[in-house]
Amino acid sequence: MTQLQMINKTKSIAQQDENISAVFMYGSFTKNEGDKYSDIEFYIFVKNKENFSAEKWVNQIHPVALYFINEYGTEVAIFENLVRGEFHFLKTEEIEIIKSWDGIVTFSDFDQMNLIDKDGYLTKTLNQIKTKSPERITNENILWLSQSLLNVVLTTSNLIKREEFAHAHHSLSNVQKYLLWLIRARINKTQHWESPTKSLEKDIDMTWYSAYKTITSDLNPKNIILAFENSLNLSEKLFDELNIETKLNEILHEIRKNYR
């Protein structure tokens, strides 16, 4: 597979480059889920960034067609073979940034994530991670998701009433996101938590998938309205089955009552 060859090339280049201290890989290939459509993704820790060109370094992996910094501050490469790469070049002393993700993100097998570690700093940092896979189905998390859902439901309701349907369509995608998280919590399917739509066709059964389909829409105003009304119904169902506190149910009821 092309991506595996590029990962091996990255490892080889880093191993030979005295300025590279460690390479931390993340994404699909650390979870044994990578395929020919997957990105390659790395944190690369550099001893000295003075006069260091990230783009030139990445171009050694495979010729780069486009290289830029996206809205999240990630350096993105689109290679000439149309493989995407995401890169974070940090100083070696910034390696402890990884510890800030503890309890927030799901870590894969450290052996697959730890691609290069010349000085032992990456291994030392990973050994300090206390929670490789955070518990997602907690009362605190479900409460936060429910509160967040109500927030975007109200926003979407107001946009529909204002007849800003393109904006409402975009807002509806946020409603879908929180409903998907609550669905995953309800059926205990948390393996793709960070990206709740990932592998959705495989992760949830057809009953829930069909329910999700009803809250999606094109830009036709009637369909947006129908999808939103279905999202209200699904919210009520999930609030009931997850035993969401009465106060939040009352807010949901008020939003429905005042809708249109």
Distance CA 117, CA 106 (A): 21
Confidence of residue 34 (pLDDT cuts 50, 70, 90): confident
What residue ranges of the chain are covered by domains with CATH 3.30.460.10?
A: 2-127
Residues of the chain with CATH 1.20.120.330: 139-258
Q: Order of strands, edge to edge, in the sheet holding 64-69?
A: 64-69, 75-79, 84-91, 40-46, 20-26, 114-117
Bridge partners, residue 250, by sequence: none
Q: Does domain 139-258 have CATH number 3.40.50.970?
A: no
Give one word for 240, left, alpha or beta, with left for phi > 0 and alpha for psi -120 to 50: alpha
Question: Rounded to an integer, what distance in angstroms lies between the CA atom of residue 246 and that of residue 250?
Answer: 6
| Tokens 């495979």 -> residue | 62
* Dist CA 200 CA 198 (whole Å): 5
Residue 149's pLDDT band, with cuts at 50, 70 and 90, is: very high
Average per-residue pLDDT for the chain: 92
Split at pLDDT 50, 70, 90, the class of 109 is confident
Of the chain, the percentage scoring pLDDT greater than 90 comes to 73
Question: What's the pLDDT at 146?
Answer: 96
Say whether domain 2-127 belongs to CATH 3.60.10.10. no
Residue whose structure tokens are 């959705």 = 200
Rounded mean pLDDT of 186-201?
87
Percent of the chain with pLDDT over 70: 100
SS3 228: helix
The pTM for the full model equals: 0.82
Q: Is 69 helix (H, G, I), strand (E, B) or coil?
A: strand
For 201-255, write each residue's pLDDT tens digit.
Answer: 988 899 999 999 999 999 999 999 999 999 999 999 999 999 999 999 999 999 9
Distances in Å between the Cα of 121 and the Cα atoms of 47, 57, 99, 112, 126 are: 12, 22, 12, 16, 9
Split at pLDDT 50, 70, 90, the class of 194 is: confident
pLDDT at 144 over 70: yes
pLDDT at 48 over 80: yes
- Could you give the dihedral angle defined by the CA atoms of residues 177, 249, 233 and 203, in that order, rounded to the nearest 10 degrees? 40
What does the pLDDT read at residue 114?
92
Q: Which residue has the higher pLDDT, 98 or 191?
A: 98
Compute φ and ψ for 89, nearest 5 degrees: -100, 115
Residue 260 pLDDT: 67
